[in-house]
Amino acid sequence: MRAAMRILICLMVCPTCAFLVGCGGSSSSSSPSPTNPIAPSATNVATISVSGGPLGNYPDAAFASVTLCVPGTSTCQTIDNVLVDTGSWGLRILSSPVLTLALPQQQAPDGNPVAECLTFVGSYTWGPVQTADVQIAGEKASSVPIQVLSDTDFPAPSGCTSSGFPSADTLDTLFANGILGVGLLAQDCGNPCLASYDQYFECPSSGCQPIDQALGQQVTNPVALFATDNNGVIVELPAVSSAGAPSVNGSLVFGIGTQSNNALGSAVVYTPDDFLNFTTSYNGQSYPDSFIDSGSDAYFILDSGLTGLANCPTNSDEAGFYCSSQNFSVTNQGSNGTSGVVNFSIANAATLFGNSDNFAFDNLGGYSSTSAPYYFDWGLPFFFGQNVFVAIAGASPPTGVPPGPYWAY
Amino acid sequence: MSRLGGAAAALVILAAAFPAWASLGGDSASIQADQLQMQGTRTTKAAESYTVHEIQAATGTVVREYVSQEGKVFGVAWRGPWLPDLRQLFGGYFEQYQAAVQSQGGGRVARRPVMIDQAGLVVRIGGHVRGFVGRAYVPEMLPSGVRAEDIQ
């Protein structure tokens, strides 16, 4: 009865939505009606889900399925539970037993195998660069350099471990089968790696050494290599109730302004600065190191002193999150001068996690620091109930569509 | 072969010239080693009870090293597209830092910034790929009147 009502409401609100994606995908009985349109299945639309991840311990992380093929062949493997990350660029997949396909190893000009080290905040990924044809929904990219995550194919050189961080090259440390980096850039290093920057290495048996890596050889955002719909993505997730939901389905739409289902419409464009940040203002103070990132699993904002929120105990399952509730009204401003008010809430993480079935929350928060530098990290909670566009720098948009990089919502 | 190869050779010579290899906790001579390692340019600003050495690294990352009147580096901070080499920058504090950063985690996944608060070392690392911010300092080395917030 209740389910039937929900579908009815759903169809009334969004008659063109395939309710499997737009509404029925949420299994929360108190899920509100979606206010944002979720694109139904299409060539340029992949289904994404927020459901706790492969280990069932990962809140507010969106996952997609990606198909990899040996280049030019129909020898393929589909890998699920790949994290959709608008905060990085390029495809990274765990090595065996997750990746069982034998992909060609990228070689340096002297024939040595190439490996990559990418430093994230708090961890790094390391492993060989291999080449695959990548298919997501109906979109295909040929001969994409990807990173295969492995601590054992080659030992990580000191230039990779100088962050002191642990590696995230196994399921137990990555909490996903891979990372699909669909953020603001095409290559994951760009021009700096034309002169070795401790990111790309060649690995003869004597040990890995930094190398210069041409743009075309760098691990690349697969979207930028699609034949069409290659200038960015839209992350579309429905609204969830304030108690959260066990599982929510949405869409990852490829292209901006390239099809009838991906028009920018009335979304406001916010361009980032050189460090891919924009400014969030709160309580009379500006925080210019702020950014939008679907790969962050909460609103990571300021600290308890500046927000008035209580930190969860450091030895609890909620460590790193906030354990009290508050409403916020802040202003985001892009480098292009556009600005807009964002109203959002943060709830007590211990209460949210108290229902151990729930993994999709639009109000999960944590601290970005406990001392300067402070900033707002607009993580996945920001994406529920509003479609967020992420436009790739250097891509060629259709006439009338602004060139990236930018976020729009 | 690469530019890094040349820098490594220069470092070997410097290592012989400056026994105080460490940066954080080390003397101001160690900043010169940092500058060379980062292929950077350096500017210096004086405050009341300390001096700030700012290194603009070739990577585009700006590193600031805070030096007391006794010539000791009591804090470091950075902002930019690439994380600096923390083994180099933290010097003798790197092992303590590494042990702490590798033991963070547990419970539900929280992709949160690095925060280490130990009696002898405070570290913050945040931001994102291509936009790192962070700082570290040794609390007992802060000159009197200098607040932790001054290091940024």
Note the pLDDT tens digit of each residue in B10-29: 333 333 333 334 489 988 77
Question: Distance (Å, rounded) from C-alpha B107 to C-alpha B67?
Answer: 39
Token pair of A332 as six digits:
């985001």
Question: Distance (Å, rounded) from C-alpha B88 to C-alpha A23?
Answer: 52
Q: Within this chain, do residues A97 and A192 fall inside the same structural domain, yes or no?
A: yes
Mean pLDDT score, B64-90 = 94
Reported as a single tens digit per residue, the pLDDT across A268-283 is 999 999 999 999 999 9
In this predicted structure, the answer to whether residue A89 has a pLDDT above a threshold of 90 is yes
Facing residues of A94 across strands? A149
Confidence of residue B6 (pLDDT cuts 50, 70, 90): very low
**Is B130 close to A367, i.e. CB distance below 8 A?**
no
**Spatial CB neighbours of A169, under 8 Å, sequence gap ≥ 6:** A94, A95, A125, A126, A127, A149, A150, A151
Coil vs helix vs strand at B15 = helix
**Is A366 close to B2, i.e. CB distance below 8 A?**
no
Mean pLDDT score, B100-126 = 86
**Is B112 close to A275, i.e. CB distance below 8 A?**
no
In this predicted structure, the answer to whether residue A69 has a pLDDT above a threshold of 70 is yes
Q: Within this chain, do residues A125 and A202 fall inside the same structural domain, yes or no?
A: yes
Confidence of residue B44 (pLDDT cuts 50, 70, 90): confident
In this predicted structure, the answer to whether residue A3 has a pLDDT above a threshold of 90 is no
Is residue B121 within 8 angstroms of chain A, CB to CB? no
What angle do the packed helices B29-37 and B3-17 form, to 10 degrees? 170
- Angle, vertex CA A406, rays to CA A244 and CA A264, nearest 5: 75
Q: Are strands A178-182 and A76-85 parallel, antiparallel or unpaired?
A: parallel
Residue B18 DSSP symbol: -
Token pair of A389 as six digits:
């566009």
Among residues A193, A225, A257, the one where a domain terminates is A225
Residue written as tokens 């295909």? A140
Question: Distance (Å, rounded) from C-alpha B142 to C-alpha B135?
Answer: 14
In this predicted structure, the answer to whether residue A27 has a pLDDT above a threshold of 80 is no
Judging contacts by C-beta atoms under 8 Å, the chain B residues touching residue A304 are none
Provide the pLDDT for residue B31. 78
In this predicted structure, the answer to whether residue A168 has a pLDDT above a threshold of 50 is yes
In a domain, A253, yes or no: no
In this predicted structure, the answer to whether residue A235 has a pLDDT above a threshold of 70 is yes
Residue B32 DSSP symbol: H
Provide the pLDDT for residue A82. 98
**Spatial CB neighbours of A338, under 8 Å, sequence gap ≥ 6:** A268, A269, A270
In this predicted structure, the answer to whether residue B8 has a pLDDT above a threshold of 90 is no
* B-proximal residues of A, 282-311, CB under 8 Å: 289, 291, 293, 295-298, 300
In a domain, A260, yes or no: no
- Whether residue A361 contacts residue A297, with contact meaning beta carbons closer than 8 Å, is answered with no
| Cα-trace Rg, chain A | 21
Judging contacts by C-beta atoms under 8 Å, the chain A residues touching residue B79 are 275, 289, 373
- Whether residue A222 contacts residue A145, with contact meaning beta carbons closer than 8 Å, is answered with no
Residue B71 DSSP symbol: S
Instruction: Give the CATH number, domain containing residue A113.
Output: 2.40.70
Q: Which domain holds residue B113?
A: 3-150
Which of A317, A369, A378, A380 has the highest number of chain B CBs within 10 A, making it the mutation to test binding with B?
A369
Mean pLDDT score, B2-14 = 38
In this predicted structure, the answer to whether residue A409 has a pLDDT above a threshold of 80 is yes
Could you tell me the strand order of the sheet in which B73-80 lies? B41-46, B50-56, B62-68, B73-80, B131-137, B121-128, B114-118
Question: Distance (Å, rounded) from C-alpha A76 to C-alpha A167?
Answer: 27
In this predicted structure, the answer to whether residue A31 has a pLDDT above a threshold of 90 is no
Q: Within this chain, do residues A215 and A333 fall inside the same structural domain, yes or no?
A: no
Report the residue of chain B nearest A198, measured CA to CA: B4
Provide the pLDDT for residue B3. 39
- Whether residue A88 contacts residue A179, with contact meaning beta carbons closer than 8 Å, is answered with yes
Question: Distance (Å, rounded) from C-alpha A183 to C-alpha A219?
Answer: 13
Task: Flag the least confident range among A4-8, A151-155, A401-405.
Answer: A4-8
Task: Flag the least confident range among A209-223, A352-366, B22-36.
Answer: B22-36
Q: Within this chain, do residues A209 and A271 fall inside the same structural domain, yes or no?
A: no
Provide the pLDDT for residue B9. 37
Would you put residue A235 in left (φ > 0), alpha (ψ -120 to 50) or beta?
beta
Is residue B147 within 8 angstroms of chain A, CB to CB? no
Is residue B88 within 8 angstroms of chain A, CB to CB? yes
Token pair of B140 as six digits:
């007992």
Judging contacts by C-beta atoms under 8 Å, the chain A residues touching residue B38 are none
- How many CB atoms within 10 Å of residue A357? 12
Confidence of residue A325 (pLDDT cuts 50, 70, 90): very high
Residue A40 to residues A12, A22, A136, A261, Cα–Cα distance (Å): 16, 8, 15, 9
Among residues A225, A254, A280, the one where a domain terminates is A225
Say what the pTM is: 0.89
Confidence of residue A15 (pLDDT cuts 50, 70, 90): very low
In this predicted structure, the answer to whether residue A25 has a pLDDT above a threshold of 60 is no
What's the domain count of chain A? 2
Mean pLDDT score, A84-101 = 97
Provide the pLDDT for residue A273. 96
Mean pLDDT score, A370-394 = 94
**Spatial CB neighbours of A406, under 8 Å, sequence gap ≥ 6:** A184, A269, A270, A271, A272, A334, A336, A389, A391
Is residue A262 within 8 angstroms of chain B, CB to CB? no
Confidence of residue A338 (pLDDT cuts 50, 70, 90): very high
Confidence of residue B105 (pLDDT cuts 50, 70, 90): low
- Whether residue A85 contacts residue A294, with contact meaning beta carbons closer than 8 Å, is answered with yes
* A-proximal residues of B, 22-51, CB under 8 Å: none
Residue written as tokens 């396909």? A101
**Is A166 close to B101, i.e. CB distance below 8 A?**
yes
Question: Distance (Å, rounded) from C-alpha B101 to C-alpha A33?
Answer: 42
- Whether residue A56 contacts residue A171, with contact meaning beta carbons closer than 8 Å, is answered with no
- Angle, vertex CA A22, rays to CA A18 and CA A28, nearest 5: 130
In a domain, A251, yes or no: no
Judging contacts by C-beta atoms under 8 Å, the chain A residues touching residue B136 are none
Provide the pLDDT for residue B34. 75
Q: Which domain holds residue A73?
A: 2-225
What's the domain count of chain B? 1
Task: Flag the least confident range among A27-36, A166-175, B22-31.
Answer: A27-36
